[in-house]
Structure 1
Amino acid sequence: MAEKCPACGSCGMPMEKPEDFALGDVTRPYCLHCTDARGELLPFDKVLETNARFYVESQGVTPAAADAMARAMLADMPAWRDRH
């Protein structure tokens, strides 16, 4: 049985290769898209913006729909679920 690849604790992206992880470090819990140049988690608003833009570009939804989709998805992620 294949081992499940880890997912980013911020956005849920599958992290299949070392370069998918922050700083290329497979022990880090977040992906390269959700972290800064030091490997630190970006602010919620930046992660939200990046994910909403992805939905607009990949699924062709409106910016308002993309924002709602991204907020709903991020609310379930370990990095953000306790955010008020």
Structure 2
Amino acid sequence: MKMCIACGMPMTAIADYPLHDMSKNYCKHCAHSDGTMKSFDEKWHEVTLKYANNHNIDYGVAKETAYTILKKLPAWKRRW
């Protein structure tokens, strides 16, 4: 099973891939509508909002949490 390099989501079905392209190593949630991968800042913003809303925590705490999680993933490791 492949894991998304940008968010860590398990990709178990063809529907999990952008444009159903199983050669991609990132999931449909980490892709633009044209199939290209979103930037770190785009994912950081999305994950921050998801954490803040789903866990009912302060935006600043959610932003730090999202950053900590994302920077460990393969797609973003080379940024540091």
TM-score between both structures, scaled by the size of structure 1: 0.84
Q: Note if 1:30 corresponds to 2:26.
A: yes
| Coordinate RMSD, CA, aligned | 1.3
**Which structure dedicates a bigger proportion of its chain to strand?**
2
**Which structure dedicates a bigger proportion of its chain to helix?**
2
Unaligned runs of at least 5 residues, structure 1? none
Deviation at 1:83, TM superposition (A): 0.4
Residue by residue over 1:15-48, the C-alpha shift from the partner in whole angstroms, topping out at 9 and shown as x without a partner, is 2221111112222101111111221111111110
Q: Note if 1:60 corresponds to 2:60.
A: no
Corresponding residue for residue 79 of structure 1: 75
Unaligned runs of at least 5 residues, structure 2? none
Give aligned pairs, total. Answer: 80
